[in-house]
Amino acid sequence: MTYPHPILAKEGWPFIGTSIAVALAVMVFAGGWWSVPLWLIALFVVQFFRDPARPVPQGARDVLSPADGRVVVVEPVEDPYLKRPSLKISVFMNVFNVHSNRSPVDGDVQQRWYDPGAFVNAALDKASTENERNALWIKTRDGQDVTCVQVAGLIARRILCYVDKGTKLARGERYGFIRFGSRVDVYLPPASRARVTVGERVSATSTVLAELP
């Protein structure tokens, strides 16, 4: 897929530039050995903000993973935004995962909700209702409702979302970013069939989380 930015996410450019500049300055003025820890930090920052293109599955009912990480929840619950029974699938991102968020389906954004919340460990279930979060209600081309929620974590302090009500999204399209550890919850129609299990590693866009009914 072609993105309107290079393989390194635009959100990371200031952090990457600063970390490399500091490492260079220390190397020049204090010597190579003193700069080694700073180069390691710069390398970590670069890997954190990587944002590779991914193949996009084209199954008509496929729900794609909106994030890289590990599946921590697959269970029937009530969608807290649409107030209806749903199948919830949650993906937890650690600091070594890609943190760019991609649309799980083709559809139109019907509504967006933001809650400043708290910052507990994003791997815990209560993060879905207590943490800072940004939710999108997406209606697919055939009328199915999907809720996709960015949830900040213990370290994450910034959720970025670039779409709002009325935006048309294509599956796999980049719509946001979360800095430094977090999760994404997806609420699907209850008859949806999960294609992943708890503990499974998934990749944004290229992994199919579920099939819509």
Residues with catalytic roles: 182
SS3 125: coil
Asked if residue 103 lies in contact with residue 175, where contact means CB atoms within 8 angstroms, the answer is yes
- CA pair distance 93, 114, nearest whole angstrom: 20
Q: How far is CA 191 from CA 22, 33, 75, 89, 140, in A?
A: 53, 59, 12, 13, 15
Asked if residue 69 lies in contact with residue 92, where contact means CB atoms within 8 angstroms, the answer is yes
Instruction: Determine which helix (DSSP H) or strand (DSSP E) holds 211, and give its type and residue range.
Output: strand 208-211
